[in-house]
């Protein structure tokens, strides 16, 4: 964890906060690695559910930091960079642009302030990571194409109508509303919640970019494992490696 992302645990609920309000919570390497660490921590602790939100009042996040972009955006995306079995609720306000929406679409529930505006301008800027294409498995196909290709503003109420968010609340009430739902999940049967999330993710189609990122995450875990380091040491020392499955 780092200062760009904080993790607060209370009564089985983790509150994960993107904390770069001076840069409208733009996603740089620190934010992405902080989110990755948060999802790992969520899986390893007794917390039952996480609420993701962001500091400041202007934006949930304006997407990738153009001045200092992350090396691999997908590493901070839940269920892509880190396999997440526990539910994650996004609490949004202000702008949610580009890669920020990629993170949000992989959350299980979304509460948006009436100030929230979604935008995916990559087709007009000339680049994309491709993960956004999984939107066609989560919202109606034509709406997903409209959102991905035209780069136009999509306000909170329209997002609710098409299934991008579950609930729209007055400005400033999004975190409290998300925590209300988190409290329900905190007291729900964890095996049922985790099973339904697992089966739901297995049912959804993945874009090639999403499937590729998940595969890459697993391969990177092998490459950076203790066994990987032991194998390289043993080869250099001309001895039989002692693998431990870590």
Q: What is the CATH number of the domain that holds 33?
A: 3.90.226.10
Is residue 243 situated within a structural domain?
A: no
Q: Which two tokens stand for residue 115?
A: 């100030």
Residues 6+ apart with CB under 8 A from 55: 17, 18, 19, 20, 21, 25
Q: How many CB atoms are closer than 10 A to CB 29? A: 18
Q: Check whether 139 has a pLDDT greater than 80.
A: yes
- pLDDT tier for residue 1 given thresholds of 50, 70 and 90: low
When pLDDT is averaged across residues 155-161 and rounded to a whole number, the result is: 98
Q: Check whether 205 has a pLDDT greater than 70.
A: yes
Q: What is the pLDDT of residue 244?
A: 86
- pLDDT tier for residue 132 given thresholds of 50, 70 and 90: very high
More confident position, 167 or 205 = 167
Query: How far is it, in rounded angstroms, from Cα 223 to Cα 22?
Result: 36
Is residue 244 situated within a structural domain?
A: no
- pLDDT tier for residue 117 given thresholds of 50, 70 and 90: very high
When pLDDT is averaged across residues 13-21 and rounded to a whole number, the result is: 98
Is residue 151 situated within a structural domain?
A: yes
Query: How far is it, in rounded angstroms, from Cα 28 to Cα 70?
Result: 5
Question: Is 116 within 8 Å of 92 (Cβ atoms)?
Answer: yes
Question: Is 101 within 8 Å of 120 (Cβ atoms)?
Answer: yes
What are 111's strand-pairing partners?
91, 167
Q: What is the pTM of this model?
A: 0.88
Which range marks the domain in which residue 158 is found? 5-237
- Please tell me the total count of domains within the chain: 1
- pLDDT tier for residue 16 given thresholds of 50, 70 and 90: very high
Is residue 192 situated within a structural domain?
A: yes
Phi, psi of 12 (to 5 degrees): 80, 5
Is residue 245 situated within a structural domain?
A: no
Q: What is the pLDDT of residue 237?
A: 86
More confident position, 31 or 211 = 31
Q: Any idea which of 80-94, 121-135, 229-243 has the lowest mean pLDDT? A: 229-243
Is residue 139 situated within a structural domain?
A: yes
59: closest CA among 95, 91, 19, 5? 95
Is residue 246 situated within a structural domain?
A: no
| pLDDT tens digit sequence for 174-186 | 999 999 999 999 9
When pLDDT is averaged across residues 93-116 and rounded to a whole number, the result is: 97
* Strand order across the beta sheet in which 154-155 lies: 59-61, 95-97, 117-119, 154-155
Q: What is the pLDDT of residue 148?
A: 96
Note the residue count of the chain. Answer: 246
Instruction: State the average pLDDT for the chain.
Output: 93
């Amino acid at each position: 964890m780092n200062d760009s992302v904080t993790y607060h645990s209370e009564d089985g609920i983790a509150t994960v906060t993107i904390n770069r309000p001076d840069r409208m919570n733009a996603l740089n390497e620190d934010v992405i690695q902080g989110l990755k660490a948060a999802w790992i921590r969520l899986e390893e602790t007794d917390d039952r559910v996480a609420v993701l939100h962001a500091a400041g009042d202007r934006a949930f996040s304006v997407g990738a930091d153009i001045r200092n972009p992350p090396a691999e955006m997908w590493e901070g995306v839940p269920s892509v960079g880190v396999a997440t079995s526990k539910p994650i609720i996004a609490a949004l306000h202000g702008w949610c642009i580009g890669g920020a929406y990629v993170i949000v679409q992989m959350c299980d529930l979304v509460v948006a302030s009436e100030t929230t505006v979604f935008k995916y301008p990559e087709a007009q800027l000339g680049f994309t990571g491709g993960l956004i294409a999984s939107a066609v498995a989560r919202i109606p196909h034509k709406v997903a194409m409209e959102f991905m290709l035209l780069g136009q503003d999509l306000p909170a109420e329209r997002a609710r109508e098409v299934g991008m968010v579950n609930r729209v609340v007055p400005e400033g009430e999004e975190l409290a509303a998300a925590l209300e739902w988190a409290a329900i999940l905190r007291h729900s049967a964890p095996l049922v919640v985790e099973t339904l999330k697992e089966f739901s993710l297995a049912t959804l189609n993945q874009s090639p970019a999403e499937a590729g990122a998940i595969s890459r995450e697993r391969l990177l875990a092998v490459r950076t494992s203790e066994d990987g380091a032991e194998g390289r040491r043993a080869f250099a020392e001309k001895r039989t490696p002692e693998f431990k499955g870590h």
